[in-house]
Amino acid sequence: MRCPFCQSDDTKVTDSRATDDGKAIRRRRECQHCGRRFTTYEMVEELPLVVVKRSGRRELFDRNKILNGLLRACNKRKVTRQQLDDIVAKVERKIRNALAQEVTSERIGELVLTELKSVDEVAYIRFASVYRQFADLDSFMAELKHLMGNKEQSEK
């Protein structure tokens, strides 16, 4: 690491620790040439993730869009903000761990539904009704029956 004051390449790390959010490492350094101290941050460089929409349009991944959809689905439900943040974090981690630079909005929706199902079933149905764009009451009822069937199987 080059010293920002004298441009010397001879620096040493005096202290190293994780930042509060745990997404970076803060390093205190000291220049061996001029003796001045400075701080550097080391973090993972994430490639931009592109979402392919149903229309074929592409846009950058925005975790806030997922969170806003979850907030609407969980309106007046006993779901905490921390639970919603955890769902968004899990979904984003699964997407990034797939190591693909593009992901479909359908894939994101399915991941959200999978996580939301175990948190709140009413919020799951609300989210599914918007995400899956139920065409009529029959398709909505089919999803409800599917949910009820899975619930009965898990109770046995």
**Full domain range(s) for residue 103:** 50-155
50 DSSP β-pair partners:
60, 102
Average pLDDT, the chain: 86
**Residue 5 located in a structural domain:** no
In sign, the C-alpha dihedral spanning 87, 91, 96, 99 is positive
**Residue 101 located in a structural domain:** yes
Q: Which segment of 76-85, 112-121, 140-149 scores lowest on mean pLDDT?
A: 140-149
pLDDT tens across 14-72, in order? 999 988 777 789 999 999 999 999 999 998 777 789 999 989 999 999 999 999 999 99
**Residue 106: count of CB within 10 angstroms of its CB:** 13
**Residue 154: count of CB within 10 angstroms of its CB:** 7
Q: Are residues 79 and 115 in the same domain?
A: yes
